[in-house]
Amino acid sequence: MRPAVFMLCLTLLSLWSARADACSCIGLQGTVDEQIEQSLNEADAVFVARLKRSSLKPDRRDRHSVAEDAQFEVIEVFKGPLKVGQTIRVYQLLNGGACAQSSTNDPPWLYRAGKGGGMEPIKVSKEWLVYSRGDGPLELSRCTRSAPLSAGGEEDVKVLRHLLKKASPKP
């Protein structure tokens, strides 16, 4: 192979691999109820919180990335050290390769069929079910079952309440 063709192929390959920055997660196995129970067991904290404020800005470390800085108020705790009424911080990168999802769906990550057959972003509720690991600031990750209550989180909440009621000792 000629050196010029080889260099062109190498350049194209490096450009292609640089774009392969999509979020990658390990999928959960089993029924939905089993997935929720597994997610509960693996999380350090599981809670419902209401969005108080959110802002988008360039990331401090990488001016080409957009970061969301948000505050939530905890309204229900299923697991972990958080208390109802406590304010928590979510700070996350929202670029293409990140697994974070915007608390306000801006930039959009949830869509529905729109008029004329196209897709349009949906408006999400301010209440979120959050499965988190580690210390803050937290991230609303697509790799967990974290979701707005209006987009699947409410169904998880029902299952979580049932699991915890079943697990609590009867007086």
| Low-confidence stretches of the chain (pLDDT beneath 70) | 1-22, 96-97, 136-137, 169-171
Helix (H) or strand (E) holding 17: helix 3-19
Q: Classify residue 33: in a domain, yes or no.
A: yes
- Domain of residue 32 covers 28-167
pLDDT given for residue 1 in this prediction: 46
Domain at 105, CATH number: 2.40.50.120
Q: Classify residue 109: in a domain, yes or no.
A: yes
Q: Classify residue 4: in a domain, yes or no.
A: no
pLDDT given for residue 169 in this prediction: 67
Cα of 104 vs its chain's centroid, Å: 11
Q: Classify residue 60: in a domain, yes or no.
A: yes
pLDDT given for residue 105 in this prediction: 82
pLDDT given for residue 19 in this prediction: 36
Count of domains forming the chain: 1
pLDDT given for residue 97 in this prediction: 66
Q: Classify residue 18: in a domain, yes or no.
A: no
pLDDT given for residue 136 in this prediction: 65
Task: For the beta carbon of residue 154, count every other beta carbon within 10 angstroms.
Answer: 15
Q: Classify residue 11: in a domain, yes or no.
A: no
pTM to 2 decimal places:
0.76
